């Protein structure tokens, strides 16, 4: 018997044993029970079986965003001002001013999302800029990359920051012409400010996760990895899982080193359930390309900067070993070629002792050929963001020399090396985390201005779809999702068109019609009135 049957559907299964010609799936409770032709399913139908005629729509596994800061996506819908739409410094300043008038009781004004590369002023805001609109209240604005932030004078005063403040290793406090802090901080130096901002409560964190979830459903995302989970957020996630409130498959990756501190958090326990998995911990080895904090071997274009390497080798190796001894895998953020090489050297060492533990590199923006050979040999996986090409491509063109630019986010080459590669969004670093938009960028290699970046790294739509489903499930060690296969957890979506047989430029016109998690419909597109 079965609880749900969907028929008259075109199935994209991403499972090698899929029987061609199947047009129906049967679900019992939360698992896929059968896949085949509808006429073979008669014995599965009971009086209470829900039967849906999909009218020829495409059914595929729910998308899995293998790197998305879920609570931060939700935060920008709840407690933090979203300034990603600001097209100039002036526009961002007016948004801040308006927000502070609208919410007079907020103790700290926090905002996120500026990207000066698209601004007519062409420069980052400083504390003097922020002071022009808000003086009486601390203001903290995070750049879109989350590796750079700017604070106003009131905030610096509250944090007791002056020219003589000691800056932690792996970060910078920028200064103005007089040697005074100009309000801009990078990488670990963000830790000079963040501890002074009132922390969110667990209840607020849960509210943010729920706020993000509905947008995820609307894009057909049924599984996600949160790649930076601190102890309080981990508690919130556990509580949501126990209360059955998550509603999507979550792979939570605890961070071990808080920003600006050498004092590691305790290594968490490994945990596995249908909705929540904790099986990998996370480190950051460098920053982002769009803000010139990724660690490069050569200089950024027209600059003498080379980014920031954040980790100390010995500490990183020891903490990784301790985590692996508890059965956990290691994920490390690495974008620049210098950072990637640094991480791979550590992973090779770890591989000697822990050959089967997950080792993954987040982003992998500028790998060299020899890195990819090492990665394939030592089973190092990658979670990459093709969507950066469209949303941050303008920054790449501005900051990277030609050779770097022609080899950035080389997804095709990485796949050709046989490296397990998942695609993801890293939202809210990008605004649009629609996986179909990510797939489009992986194929066209076009930025939002229409310029093409590293054209020969274009992949196929099938490769992109697999990277957002089955590969993402593999990299997250959750084999029970990611394909349409008997016995799998019943997470799937119905699309109005088949992404694998549509022109690339039309991919984002495809609509997710309905999203199913655990065998139940959790979201449905409102019919146009
Ligand atoms: Zn990230």
Domain ranges (residues) in the chain: 4-62+491-524, 80-196
363 alpha carbon – ligand 1 mean position (Å): 8
- In this structure, what token pair is assigned to residue 350? 């770890």
- Count CB-CB contacts under 10 A for residue 392: 28
How far is 195 from 168, CA to CA, in rounded Å? 14
4 alpha carbon – ligand 1 mean position (Å): 37
80-196: CATH topology: Diaminopimelate Epimerase; Chain A, domain 1 (3.10.310)
| Angle at alpha carbon of residue 222, lines to 54 and 329, rounded to 5° | 145
The answer to whether 82 touches 76, Cβ cutoff 8 Å, is: yes
pLDDT at 69: 97
285 alpha carbon – ligand 1 mean position (Å): 12
Report which secondary-structure segment, H or E, holds 214: helix 202-218
Calculate the alpha carbon distances from 498 to 56, 272, 466, 482, 495 in Å.
10, 33, 14, 17, 7
Give me the tens of pLDDT residue by residue for the chain, a chain 529 residues long: 899 999 999 999 999 999 999 999 999 999 999 999 999 999 999 999 999 999 999 999 999 999 999 999 999 999 999 999 999 999 999 999 999 999 898 899 999 999 998 898 889 999 999 999 999 999 999 999 889 999 999 999 999 999 999 999 889 999 999 999 999 999 999 999 999 999 999 999 999 999 999 999 999 999 999 999 999 999 999 999 999 999 999 999 999 998 777 899 999 999 999 999 999 999 999 989 988 999 999 999 989 999 989 999 999 999 999 999 999 999 999 999 999 999 999 999 999 999 999 999 999 999 999 999 999 999 999 999 999 999 999 999 999 999 999 999 999 999 999 999 999 999 999 999 999 999 999 999 999 999 999 999 999 999 999 999 999 999 999 999 999 999 999 999 999 999 999 999 999 999 999 999 999 999 999 887 5
User: Can you say whether residue 379 is alpha, beta or left, with left for phi > 0 and alpha for psi between -120 and 50 degrees?
Assistant: left
Does the structural domain 4-62+491-524 have CATH classification 2.30.40.10? yes
How far is 352 from 345, CA to CA, in rounded Å? 12
Question: 161 by DSSP, 3-state: which?
Answer: coil
What torsion do the CA atoms of 72, 77, 81, 84 make, to the nearest 10 degrees? Answer: 80
424 alpha carbon – ligand 1 mean position (Å): 10
42 alpha carbon – ligand 1 mean position (Å): 47
Give Cα 506 to chain centroid, integer Å: 24
Question: 11 by DSSP, 3-state: which?
Answer: strand
In degrees and rounded to multiples of 5, residue 188 shows phi and psi of -60, -20
Question: 250 by DSSP, 3-state: which?
Answer: strand
Calculate the alpha carbon distances from 76 to 47, 285, 302, 463 in Å.
45, 26, 34, 31
Helix axes 337-353, 313-325, angle to 10 degrees: 40
Helix axes 337-353, 369-377, angle to 10 degrees: 20
482 alpha carbon – ligand 1 mean position (Å): 22
Give Cα 303 to chain centroid, integer Å: 29
pLDDT at 529: 52
CA atoms within 13 A on the CB side of 186: 22
How far is 9 from 24, CA to CA, in rounded Å? 6
pLDDT at 122: 86
Question: 404 by DSSP, 3-state: which?
Answer: helix
259 alpha carbon – ligand 1 mean position (Å): 14
Q: For the chain, what's the residue count?
A: 529
- In this structure, what token pair is assigned to residue 109? 């004004």
2 alpha carbon – ligand 1 mean position (Å): 40
- Classify strands 109-114 and 276-278 as parallel, antiparallel or unpaired: unpaired
Q: For residue 428, say if its preceding peptide bond is cis, omega within 30 degrees of 0.
A: yes
227 alpha carbon – ligand 1 mean position (Å): 6
361 alpha carbon – ligand 1 mean position (Å): 11
- In this structure, what token pair is assigned to residue 65? 């965003």
Considering Cα of 255, then 258, then 264, then 265, what sign does the dihedral take? negative
Question: 94 by DSSP, 3-state: which?
Answer: helix
């Amino acid at each position: 018997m079965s609880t749900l049957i969907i028929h008259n559907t075109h199935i994209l299964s991403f499972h090698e044993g899929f029987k061609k010609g199947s047009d129906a799936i049967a679900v019992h409770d939360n698992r896929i029970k059968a896949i085949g032709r509808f006429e073979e399913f008669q014995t599965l139908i009971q009086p209470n079986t829900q039967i849906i005629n999909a009218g020829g729509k495409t059914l595929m596994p729910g998308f899995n965003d293998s790197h998305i800061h879920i609570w931060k996506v939700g935060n920008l819908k709840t407690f933090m001002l979203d300034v990603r739409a600001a097209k100039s410094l002036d526009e961002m300043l007016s948004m801040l001013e308006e927000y502070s008038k609208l919410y007079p009781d907020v103790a700290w004004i926090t905002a996120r999302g500026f990207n000066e590369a698209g601004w007519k002023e062409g420069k980052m805001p400083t504390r003097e800029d922020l002071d022009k609109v808000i003086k009486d209240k601390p203001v903290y604005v995070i750049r879109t990359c989350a590796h750079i932030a700017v604070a106003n004078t009131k905030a610096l005063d509250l944090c007791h920051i002056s020219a003589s403040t000691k800056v932690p290793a792996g970060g910078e406090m920028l200064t103005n012409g007089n040697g005074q802090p100009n309000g801009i901080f990078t990488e670990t130096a963000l830790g000079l400010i963040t501890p002074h901002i009132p922390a969110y409560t667990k209840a607020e964190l849960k509210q943010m996760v729920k706020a993000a979830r509905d947008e995820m459903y609307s894009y057909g995302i049924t599984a996600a990895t949160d790649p930076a989970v601190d102890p309080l957020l981990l508690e919130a996630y556990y509580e949501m899982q126990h209360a059955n409130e998550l509603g999507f498959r979550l792979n939570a990756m605890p961070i071990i080193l808080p920003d600006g501190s050498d004092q590691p958090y305790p290594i968490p326990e490994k945990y596995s359930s249908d909705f929540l998995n904790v099986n990998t911990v996370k480190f950051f080895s460098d920053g982002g390309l769009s803000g010139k904090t990724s660690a490069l071997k050569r200089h950024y274009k027209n600059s003498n900067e080379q980014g920031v390497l954040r980790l100390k080798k010995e500490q990183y190796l020891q903490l990784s070993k301790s985590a692996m001894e508890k059965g956990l895998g290691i994920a490390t953020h690495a974008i620049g070629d210098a950072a990637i090489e640094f991480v791979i050297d550590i992973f090779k060492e770890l591989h000697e002792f822990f050959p089967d533990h997950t080792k993954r590199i987040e982003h992998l923006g500028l790998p060299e050929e020899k890195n990819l050979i090492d990665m394939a040999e030592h089973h190092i996986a990658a979670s990459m963001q093709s969507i950066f090409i469209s949303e941050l491509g303008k920054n790449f063109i501005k900051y990277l020399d030609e050779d770097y630019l022609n080899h950035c986010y080389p997804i095709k080459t990485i796949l050709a090396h046989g490296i397990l590669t998942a695609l993801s969004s890293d939202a809210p670093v990008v605004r649009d985390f629609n996986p179909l938009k990510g797939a489009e960028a992986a194929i066209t290699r076009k930025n939002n201005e229409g310029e093409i970046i590293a054209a020969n790294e274009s992949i196929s739509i099938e490769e992109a779809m697999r990277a957002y489903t089955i590969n993402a499930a593999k990299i997250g060690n959750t084999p029970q999702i990611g394909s349409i296969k008997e016995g799998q957890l019943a997470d799937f979506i119905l699309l109005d068109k088949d992404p694998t047989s549509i022109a690339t430029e039309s991919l984002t016109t495809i609509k997710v019609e309905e999203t199913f998690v655990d065998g139940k419909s959790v979201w449905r597109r409102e019919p146009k009135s």
